Amino acid sequence: MRGTRYRGDERHLPATAQISKSPRAAKPGGHDEPLETTAPGTVEVVRSRVALKRATDRCRECPIGEHATQAVCGEGPRKALVMLVGEQPGDQEDLAGKPFVGPAGHLLDRALAQLGIGRDKVFVSNAVKHFKFELRGKRRIHKTPTQREITACSHWLEDEIAMVQPQLLVALGATAARSLLGKAVPVMANRGQILQREDGRKVLITLHPSALLRVPPPDRDNAYREWLHDLSRINPH
């Protein structure tokens, strides 16, 4: 269940995920700007992007992190109004340490550009912070994260949401929808719709760009147009 780690507003991180009690001095307006305070007597919470990266790199709450190169956290403006959430980093993202830089990311960039939305205007992240794969020869083949792994990772995504405070979350596919809404959401039945979370945040449901890349060419253009239609509900300003 989403948020099992939270007691009220106090986030209790497991020992492996705790971070320094004296984080680096923050640069005002910089990426390591402190974003929230820690209530007295509670375990340190993640309060900057740098701290989040450090903590997720170390995270071993599920087995995925052991095999990945690094954690891949979200990127984008600190005050982005829109946060797009994918499933997990792929092979290229795992190596680069950046979300959506491979083929799915290129398709996402193309769609955003067609809608007049600069990628630099939105925050782009993933439900799961490490790349899950199986080795076939030398190739690392993507494996879908389990429900348990999605749940274990959800508090990191929630930290990002708490930092950025977006007005609209965009669930790209079923894993993101499950993480953001805390339950299974049939994507095809809900695509293009904006659902509401218990905390009031709005979640636009749509397909993951990788799903579009798997559509056979005769149907791909149409599938892409429908996806653009879903995404046209985004207003980053």
Note the residues at the interface with ligand URA (CB under 6 A): 86-90, 93, 99-100, 102, 104-105, 126, 210
Residue 19 or 75 with smaller CB distance to ligand URA: 75
Half-sphere exposure of 93 (CA within 13 A, CB side): 29
- For the CB of residue 223, give the shortest distance to ligand URA in the complex, in Å: 17
Q: Which residue is nearest to ligand URA (CB)?
A: 86
Pure H helices in the chain: 49-58, 91-96, 103-114, 147-164, 174-181, 187-190, 209-213, 217-231
Percent of the chain that is helix, strand, coil (3-state, to 5): 35, 15, 50
- How far apart, in whole angstroms, are the C-alpha atoms of residue 49 and residue 125? 12
Question: What is the nearest approach in angstroms of ligand URA to the Cβ of residue 10?
Answer: 30
Closer residue to ligand URA, CB minimum distance, 99 or 236: 99
Q: Least CB distance from residue 124 to ligand URA, whole Å?
A: 7
Is 187 in contact with 227 (CB distance < 8 Å)?
no
Q: How far is the CB of 23 from ligand URA (least distance, A)?
A: 26
Tokens of 151: 């749940």
Nearer to ligand URA, 142 or 233 (CB): 142
Residue 87 vs 159, nearer CB to ligand URA: 87
